Chain A
């Protein structure tokens, strides 16, 4: 195999493919990136068997072929090369030479035949949406997935896709994120009513790092157990989580007794102050909601703190307590300046919604105090 390409495009490709490479693996070959040179592109692939990432970059192929390079060192050395053209070649022993001007690296690669095949995903069913939307959706939901493996389905985000609406839901029982995006243009090219898929949170974390804040579209192909994200020249392939998701609509409360409008940053800063004193184990912060204020307080062996914020309150007075981390996680994901908080009583969920056009919300369960 032998090809010449631009250093920066090679680096970009390697940095994407490396996202699929597992850092801890028992299979040494999985610590590598497979390079395939064919036609006028090279394909860089990384996989940890859960997720596979392939990225194509343009190159002048002098000799078609393939090899596997150790991911970490290859990425590091490409980064350290000067700008301009890079020549990469490998011999039958998989010794890989990287040449740039007078610089000549020679590293030991591995046999590409040992590299696991990244499966093909049928392109029958698909939907598409702008990169920026998918990126926003992931940012606003993925942190709510369950960290516990006891119910694997909850470690993923549910995508419910209708022709003109996409809903994404993540929940771990203590909290839930619901994101809705409506589009006049159908998400589907084909005839379909609704698709439901649960994508692993880890996959979405990786994808979000690859996505750009651009309007260009991501095409998401899916089968019953696999999903393929086509993002420009990059393909991300992942398994889907199987099983039935929680009926999230059933747990969503409808009637509220107390409503507050509050500046997001003011609220966050106060919560952060309260968290300093809150017991580190459960980050317990208490709210006392009066007729035109909310008192945020915490106490632990470290001491105690309280802060009174003037806010707009509609409805009943209330005392309620939360794990501040859940609140802060949600607020951090919100871009809007103001949020509405909807309460029922001290043992029912709180709903946080941004004030504005955007349609997403967080539901957070309180901490019950004795």
Chain B
């Protein structure tokens, strides 16, 4: 299945926050960065860019180019505060968010049951409402193209790059737009007459490997629209779920169970993709009066297959006394644990001890007919 990747990039983040916080700066060239003698520009407003100022430029040069500019120090704490607000919005959409920096992130929305363009518009609107800032959003089927798309018509941009647009849309781009080609590499390419992606497409893979080593293969693939890098969520995923507002309110359990079956498959797929197992299954119901009810069940073993999740979810719903019509049904799993296998070895003394202790405990529990000996981890869970 083709992925749906969104790249979110704040427009002139630091400078925009300053303009937001200080209305008198709006519409004026604002330059944020190190103000001391050797400081450099962190971000500058679009008004300042007209003077030829750009980030990483020495501050003294920026001052020379635009003496009337508003030069401000970096207020990192404030920017982090705003960033947090924005990431909250992103995590609201999907747990699969890869923060790249304070003002940039990738989202994998493959499993979000919405059109990615609608998601993008939602992000833009919610960020604007919450912070007053604009954001550029790129949508495509991999990270490289999504990033390219977000950069397409900054600021406040929205661009979709679909499969049929590749490689045509890339051809006129300078090679520096390709992730992995920096100034130095571009220099190398220029020396052999390669300026654009179109030129680059003519190079066989071997030449790219010669020039760039291993990354040569990646570059070769990237300009052909191939980039398998996953969106890597840094934040620990706490739960995975899926919910749906029903077309018509219902009290029909059979119908609701059918939805749970479908959700189990989606959730299971996510678990497998994220290499996670779960132990807790939660069913959520919103009734016609908009009241939200949830019921959970925790199982002994870690599970991940849709059948197992479905079994538990079905059990929860079957016991549920539905007094009102159901408006929304949801399923989520939590108590997640990464897939950890341990190949046991009888030469590993630590493991041998664990096995012996486990066998002894099992034997005693069986004789007594009650689980009186438990693992420390089990006790901790019991006490929670």
Cα A301 to Cα B341 in complex, Å, equals 15
Indicate if the CB atoms of A173 and B345 lie closer than 8 Å.
Answer: yes
B358 touches A304 (CB 8 A): no
A369 near B302 with CB under 8 A, answer yes
Complex-state Cα separation, A321 to B348, whole angstroms: 18
Q: Mark A3-45, 1 if CB is under 8 A from B, else 0.
A: 0000000000000000000000000000000000000000000
A177 to chain B, nearest CB (A): 13
Near B by CB (< 8 A), chain A positions 314-370 give 321, 323, 344-345, 347-349, 365-370
Given A345-B362, A365-B346, are A304 and B272 neighbors across the interface (CB < 8 Å)? yes
Chain B residues closer than 8 Å to A347, beta-carbon distance: 344, 354-355, 358-359
Contact of A174 among B302, B304, B337, B343 (CB under 8 A): B343
In the assembled complex, A73 has its CB within 8 A of some CB on chain B: no
Known: A301-B272, A301-B273, A345-B362. A367 touches B341 (CB 8 A): yes
A250: nearest residue on chain B (CB-CB)?
Answer: B346
Q: Is B263 an interface residue (CB 8 A)?
A: no
Residues of B near A246 (CB, < 8 A) are 347
- Looking at chain A, what size class is its interface with the partner chain? 20 to 34
Q: Which residues of B contact A284 (CB under 8 A)?
A: 341
In the bound complex, do residue A323 and residue B359 qualify as a contact, i.e. CB atoms below 8 Å apart? no
Chain A, residue nearest B273 (CB): A301
Q: Is the CB of B341 within 8 A of A282?
A: yes
**Contact of B247 with A by CB under 8 A:** no
Rounded to whole Å, the gap between the CB of B361 and the closest CB of chain A is 11
With a CB–CB cut-off of 8 A, which chain B residues contact A369? 302, 340-341
Distance in angstroms between the alpha carbons of A301 and B271 in the assembled complex: 10
A365–B339 CA distance with the chains assembled, in angstroms: 19
Partner of B346, one of A299, A349, A368: A349
Contact A348 B359 (CB under 8 A): yes
Is B342's beta carbon under 8 Å from chain A? yes
Interface hits, A279-321 → B, CB 8 Å: 282, 284, 299-301, 304, 321
Q: Across the interface, do A282 and B302 meet the contact criterion of CB distance under 8 Å?
A: no
CB distance from A353 to the nearest CB of B (A): 18
Tell whether, in the assembled complex, residue B337 and residue A370 are in contact, meaning their CB atoms are under 8 Å apart.
yes
Does B277 belong to the interface (CB within 8 Å)?
A: yes
Check A323–B343 contact: CB distance below 8 A: yes
Instruction: Assess whether A251 is interfacial by the CB under 8 Å rule.
Output: yes
Q: CB-CB contacts of B244-259 with A at 8 A, as 1s and 0s?
A: 0000000000000000
Do A370 and B340 form a contact, CB below 8 Å, given A246-B347, A301-B272, A304-B305? Answer: yes
B residues 350-374 touching A (CB-CB < 8 Å): 354-355, 358-359, 362
- Choose among A173, A282, A348, A367 the residue that contacts B347 (Cβ–Cβ < 8 A): A173
Contacts of B343 in A (CB 8 A): 174, 282, 323, 365, 367-368
Task: Report B-chain residues with C-beta under 8 Å of the C-beta of A368.
Answer: 341-344
Interface of B is mostly: mixed
Q: How far is the CA of A349 from the CA of B348 in the complex (A)?
A: 13
Most B-side CB within 10 Å, residue of A347, A366, A367: A347
For A345, what are the chain B residues with a Cβ–Cβ distance below 8 Å? 358-359, 362
- Nearest CB to that of B347 among chain A residues? A173
Q: How far is the CA of A367 from the CA of B351 in the complex (A)?
A: 12
Across the interface, which residues of B come within 8 angstroms of A367, CB to CB? 341-344
Give the size category of B's interface with A.
20 to 34
Across the interface, do B346 and A251 meet the contact criterion of CB distance under 8 Å? Answer: yes
Cα–Cα distance between A110 and B273 once the two chains are bound (Å): 61
Docked CA distance A367–B343 (Å)? 4
Residues of A within 8 A of B362 (CB): 345
Q: Please tell me which one of the listed residues A282, A299, A365 contacts residue B344 in the complex, with CB atoms under 8 A apart.
A: A365
Q: Whole-angstrom distance between the alpha carbons of A300 and B305 in the complex?
A: 11
A173 to B369, CA, bound (A): 34
Residues of B within 8 A of A251 (CB): 346
The docked-state distance in angstroms from the alpha carbon of A349 to that of B346 is: 9
- A304 and B346 alpha carbons, distance in the complex (Å): 30
User: What residues on B are CB-neighbors of A344 within 8 Å?
Assistant: 359
Whether A366 touches B344, Cβ cut-off 8 Å, given contacts A299-B272, A345-B359, A347-B358, is yes
How far apart are B380's CB and chain A's nearest CB, in angstroms? 15
Q: Nearest A residue to B307 by beta-carbon distance?
A: A306
A304–B265 Cα distance when bound, in Å, is 13
**Which B residues touch A321, using CB under 8 A?**
341
Report whether A365 and B305 are in contact in the complex, using a CB–CB cutoff of 8 Å: no
In the bound complex, residues from chain A placing their C-beta under 8 Å from that of B347 are: 151, 173, 246
Contacts of A304 in B (CB 8 A): 272, 305
A251 to B343, CA, bound (A): 16
Least distance between B28 CB and chain A CB atoms (Å): 51
CB-defined contacts of B304 to chain A, threshold 8 Å: 299
Instruction: Give the residue among B305, B339, B341, B358 with the most A Cβ atoms within 10 A.
Output: B341
User: Within the complex, what minimum Cβ distance (angstroms) separates B266 from chain A?
Assistant: 15
Residue from A174, A284, A321 with most neighbouring chain B CB atoms (10 Å): A174
Taking CB as reference atom, which chain B residue is nearest A349? B346
Q: Do B341 and A348 touch (CB < 8 A)?
A: no
- Residue-wise, chain A 210-245 has the 8 Å CB interface mask toward B (1 for contact) of 000000000000000000000000000000000000
Q: Give every chain A residue within 8 A of B337 (Cβ-Cβ).
A: 370
Smallest distance from the beta carbon of B156 to chain A beta carbons, Å?
A: 37
Q: Mark B167-180, 1 if CB is under 8 A from A, else 0.
A: 00000000000000
Docked CA distance A272–B354 (Å): 31
Please indicate which of the listed interface residues B273, B339, B340, B343 has the most CB atoms of chain A within 10 Å of its own CB.
Answer: B343
Interface centre among A251, A300, A348 (most CB of B within 10 A): A348
- In the assembled complex, which residues on chain A have CB atoms less than 8 Å from the CB atom of B355? 347-348
* Cα–Cα, bound, A268→B354 (Å): 31
Find chain A residues with CB under 8 A from B358 CB. Answer: 345, 347
A204 to B362, CA, bound (A): 42
Within 8 A of B (CB), among A160-183: 173-174, 176
Please indicate the chain B residues that have their CB under 8 angstroms from the CB of A370 in the complex.
Answer: 277, 302, 337, 339-342
Contacts of B342 in A (CB 8 A): 367-368, 370
What is B's interface to A at a CB cutoff of 8 Å? Answer: 272-273, 275, 277, 302, 304-305, 337, 339-348, 354-355, 358-359, 362
Give 26 pairs: A residue, B residue, CB < 8 Å, sorted on A. Answer: A151-B347, A173-B347, A173-B348, A174-B343, A174-B344, A251-B346, A282-B343, A284-B341, A299-B304, A323-B343, A344-B359, A345-B358, A345-B362, A347-B355, A347-B358, A347-B359, A348-B355, A367-B341, A367-B343, A368-B341, A368-B343, A369-B340, A370-B277, A370-B302, A370-B339, A370-B342
The 5 closest A-B pairs by CB, nearest first: A173-B347, A173-B345, A365-B344, A368-B342, A251-B346
Known: A176-B346, A365-B344, A365-B346. 18 other contacts (CB 8 A): A173-B346, A174-B343, A284-B341, A299-B304, A300-B272, A301-B273, A323-B343, A345-B359, A347-B354, A347-B358, A347-B359, A365-B345, A367-B342, A368-B341, A368-B344, A369-B340, A370-B337, A370-B339
